[in-house]
A and B are shown apart, each in its own frame.
Chain A
Amino acid sequence: MSVLTTNYLTPTGREEAWRFTPLKRLRGLHDGLAIQSDRETLITKGALPSGVSFVRENLEPLASSDDVIIERVRGAATSVAHLAIAANTELAEPIFLGRSAGALDTAEFSRVRITLGTHAVATVIVENTTDTVLAEDLEIYCAPGSNLKFVTLQEFESKSVYTARHHAVVDKDATFKSITVTVGGDVVRILPTVEFKAPGASADLLGVYFATAGQFFEHRMHVDHAVPHAKSNVNYKGALAGKDAHTVWIGDVLIRAAAEGTDTYELNRNLLLSDGARADSVPNLEIETGEIIGAGHASTTGRFDDEQLFYLMSRGIAMADARRLVVRGFFNEIVSEIGNEEIQTRIMDRIDTELEKAAHHG
């Protein structure tokens, strides 16, 4: 593809897509001032089973993007890290990808592709654990009849800046389920987006995030129903604690005129655990046809439910333990969907730690 090397429109913060993001903390990812490193840190953990390959190659983007950082990534990255799962391959065990190397003085611009062949079934887990500056264009193609569970764990160290688009193209009768966990980093901005290619496709987009003092986590969903009889479900849950903890959840769902028989629901719930934190939650449902099965959205932001705490404490459970139970319970609905005991325990323990930290700092 030809790349325009000029005329990237640097966001000013007044654009709808950027109005919440603290641009000054993006370490130059958005305005071209970041120094590009040539590191390619995404690796696979363990040997790959048969039917699965992981290579760096040149691939055209699957879909266009109007995100300026994604455009910069496409201009800068020289190859695509491509995980391919061959048609009819059914994997019982998850494939682990991860980034555990990085740097803060330079930025990595990374393109990633995950391809599921026809009727392939797989779980892919991406573990991000380092301190780094990373802009990522991650695209997924689910071929007809395939089934992908895609788990991303943002467990970055505290100074990391991560901006990404996780874009899935879901073909006929394919099932895509993502679980996005964001618990670490200074600024994390993810665009989990889905487009349906043919009828019978479905997408389940789940996520949890926990921001403590000073952290900014943004999840900006976009689900494009352009074909008939596709199904989508979005459920993101967040908790915030500490001064200037800030989360943003935008849920854009577009049901185009052709998308008859669409069934969609999106939900975002936020738990404010202290003063001084801010949760923005904006569901947007745009409907161009009335011939649908269902379309709904809900968004709630609240504090601890006093009645829940009272009930637990009336059974002898101390306040701090009662709070921990309620927060764990709040996240459990989604974390338990990961389906990997070790990771679920790790994420829940991390949430406990964040909660404890928050309690100590008020």
Chain B
Amino acid sequence: MSTLEIRNLQVSVDTDNGTVEILKGVDLTIKSGETHAIMGPNGSGKSTLAYSIAGHPKYTITGGSVTLDGIDVLEMTVDERAKAGLFLAMQYPVEVPGVSVSNFLRTAATALRGEAPKLRTWVGEVKDAMEALNMDPSFATRNVNEGFSGGEKKRHEIMQLELLKPKMAILDETDSGLDVDALRIVSEGVNRAKAANNLGVILITHYTRILRYIQPDFVHVFANGRVVEQGGPELAEKLEANGYADYVSK
């Protein structure tokens, strides 16, 4: 049982026009097995929250805390956060030219498990994970995210989620750019990871459609760098009907 606690998190970013405060005090508590949907209009700071927790160097933490089972996450390097059990499925996964998917996955698994996975079982593990997400075996020999379609990139992210078995996953707009079939396949992968590892999930999305496939326990509405309303799944239905207009004008 793990708990990710975000307390009064304040984050700014340096731009050409000076420092801009993006997160203005975010509080969230996520426990193993829970799924928290974070919904909000563009520019409300949802992705900043995701990248700040993962430790992207672009963002400066100006206040507050993030802890995983009481241990300070913000003090950790990016790789240490992954080793502690955090995972970020990115909205725009990065191309790494010349590095094959299979080499990348094995390097990551070796780092996270503390030893190289046994080749025999590993090959099977990767094959199963790829098949589960309807990915062609040739994927393994391609370079990481290079020339991948939008849908392929997202499936590759969720495949990593299943293979690397984190405690807490942040899914940053995993639904964006997916057609209905891909959305279903990707969602099933997330649900498998939840069931297999009692995964805690922060599901960041602009739209409600992914929530038909991945059932949230809690819904948080994000606007202007903070959580402005919280509720259960019924809140998502209200947003579906009314949009974000109520929150943006506040």
Binding site for B on A (CB under 8 A): 305-308, 310-319, 321-322, 325-326, 328-333
B79: A residues at CB distance < 8 A: 313-319, 322
Asked if B107 and A325 sit within 8 Å, CB to CB, the answer is: yes
Asked if B54 and A312 sit within 8 Å, CB to CB, the answer is: no
How many angstroms between the C-alpha atoms of A317 and B98 in the bound complex? 17
B144: A residues at CB distance < 8 A: 311
How many angstroms between the C-alpha atoms of A331 and B97 in the bound complex? 9
How many angstroms between the C-alpha atoms of A330 and B87 in the bound complex? 26
The closest CB in chain A to the CB of B99 belongs to: A329
A325: B residues at CB distance < 8 A: 96, 99, 103-104, 107
How many angstroms between the C-alpha atoms of A46 and B109 in the bound complex? 42
A306: B residues at CB distance < 8 A: 57-58
State whether the Cβ of B91 lies closer than 8 Å to any Cβ in chain A: no
Most chain A C-beta atoms within 10 Å of own C-beta, residue among B54, B94, B95, B103 = B94
10 sampled A-B residue pairs with Cβ under 8 A: A308-B96, A310-B56, A311-B94, A312-B104, A313-B77, A315-B112, A325-B99, A326-B99, A330-B97, A330-B98
| Shortest Cβ-Cβ A-B pairs, 6 listed | A329-B98, A332-B98, A316-B82, A315-B108, A313-B78, A329-B99
B103: A residues at CB distance < 8 A: 325
State whether the Cβ of B88 lies closer than 8 Å to any Cβ in chain A: yes
- Prevailing SS type, chain A contact patch: helix
Asked if A329 and B77 sit within 8 Å, CB to CB, the answer is: no
Asked if B108 and A316 sit within 8 Å, CB to CB, the answer is: yes
How many angstroms between the C-alpha atoms of A332 and B103 in the bound complex? 13
B81: A residues at CB distance < 8 A: 314
Asked if A315 and B97 sit within 8 Å, CB to CB, the answer is: no
Asked if A328 and B99 sit within 8 Å, CB to CB, the answer is: yes
Most chain B C-beta atoms within 10 Å of own C-beta, residue among A310, A314, A319, A330 = A314
A316: B residues at CB distance < 8 A: 79, 82-83, 108, 111-112, 164
B132: A residues at CB distance < 8 A: none
User: In the complex, which of the residues B58, B97, B111 contacts A317, with contact meaning CB atoms closer than 8 Å?
Assistant: B111
- The minimal Cβ–Cβ distance linking A328 to chain B, given in whole angstroms, is 7
How many angstroms between the C-alpha atoms of A325 and B105 in the bound complex? 12
The closest CB in chain A to the CB of B164 belongs to: A315
A331: B residues at CB distance < 8 A: 98
B54: A residues at CB distance < 8 A: 310, 314
For the complex with contacts A312-B96, A329-B98, 17 further pairs of A-B residues with Cβ separation under 8 Å are A307-B94, A308-B95, A310-B94, A311-B90, A313-B78, A313-B82, A314-B78, A314-B90, A315-B104, A315-B111, A318-B79, A321-B111, A325-B107, A330-B97, A330-B98, A331-B98, A333-B97
B199-227 to A contact mask, C-beta < 8 Å, 1/0: 00000000000000000000000000000
Q: Which of B1-22 contact A (CB under 8 A)?
A: none
B198: A residues at CB distance < 8 A: none
Asked if B160 and A315 sit within 8 Å, CB to CB, the answer is: yes
- Prevailing SS type, chain B contact patch: mixed
Report how many residues on chain B are interfacial, defined by Cβ distance under 8 Å.
Answer: 31
How many angstroms between the C-alpha atoms of A329 and B143 in the bound complex? 9
- The minimal Cβ–Cβ distance linking A130 to chain B, given in whole angstroms, is 30
The closest CB in chain A to the CB of B83 belongs to: A316
State whether the Cβ of B93 lies closer than 8 Å to any Cβ in chain A: yes
- The minimal Cβ–Cβ distance linking A271 to chain B, given in whole angstroms, is 11
The closest CB in chain A to the CB of B105 belongs to: A315
User: In the complex, which of the residues B78, B88, B90, B107 contacts A321, with contact meaning CB atoms closer than 8 Å?
Assistant: B107
Most chain A C-beta atoms within 10 Å of own C-beta, residue among B57, B96, B97 = B96
The closest CB in chain B to the CB of A334 belongs to: B98
How many angstroms between the C-alpha atoms of A308 and B98 in the bound complex? 12
B78: A residues at CB distance < 8 A: 310, 313-314
Asked if B98 and A315 sit within 8 Å, CB to CB, the answer is: no
Asked if A318 and B111 sit within 8 Å, CB to CB, the answer is: yes
B93: A residues at CB distance < 8 A: 311
How many angstroms between the C-alpha atoms of A319 and B76 in the bound complex? 13
User: In the complex, which of the residues B96, B98, B111 contacts A311, with contact meaning CB atoms closer than 8 Å?
Assistant: B96
A317: B residues at CB distance < 8 A: 79, 107-108, 111
- The minimal Cβ–Cβ distance linking B210 to chain A, given in whole angstroms, is 21
B143: A residues at CB distance < 8 A: 329
A321: B residues at CB distance < 8 A: 107, 111
Most chain A C-beta atoms within 10 Å of own C-beta, residue among B98, B107, B160 = B98
How many angstroms between the C-alpha atoms of A328 and B96 in the bound complex? 11
- The minimal Cβ–Cβ distance linking B153 to chain A, given in whole angstroms, is 11
How many angstroms between the C-alpha atoms of A174 and B62 in the bound complex? 64
How many angstroms between the C-alpha atoms of A312 and B55 in the bound complex? 12
Asked if A310 and B82 sit within 8 Å, CB to CB, the answer is: no
- The minimal Cβ–Cβ distance linking B132 to chain A, given in whole angstroms, is 19
A318: B residues at CB distance < 8 A: 79, 111
- The minimal Cβ–Cβ distance linking B79 to chain A, given in whole angstroms, is 4
How many angstroms between the C-alpha atoms of A35 and B5 in the bound complex? 74
A332: B residues at CB distance < 8 A: 98-99
How many angstroms between the C-alpha atoms of A217 and B87 in the bound complex? 42
B94: A residues at CB distance < 8 A: 305, 307-308, 310-311
Asked if A329 and B82 sit within 8 Å, CB to CB, the answer is: no
How many angstroms between the C-alpha atoms of A331 and B98 in the bound complex? 7
B49-74 to A contact mask, C-beta < 8 Å, 1/0: 00000111110000000000000000
A310: B residues at CB distance < 8 A: 54-57, 78, 94
- The minimal Cβ–Cβ distance linking B249 to chain A, given in whole angstroms, is 35
A313: B residues at CB distance < 8 A: 55, 77-79, 82
Asked if A329 and B160 sit within 8 Å, CB to CB, the answer is: no
B82: A residues at CB distance < 8 A: 313-316
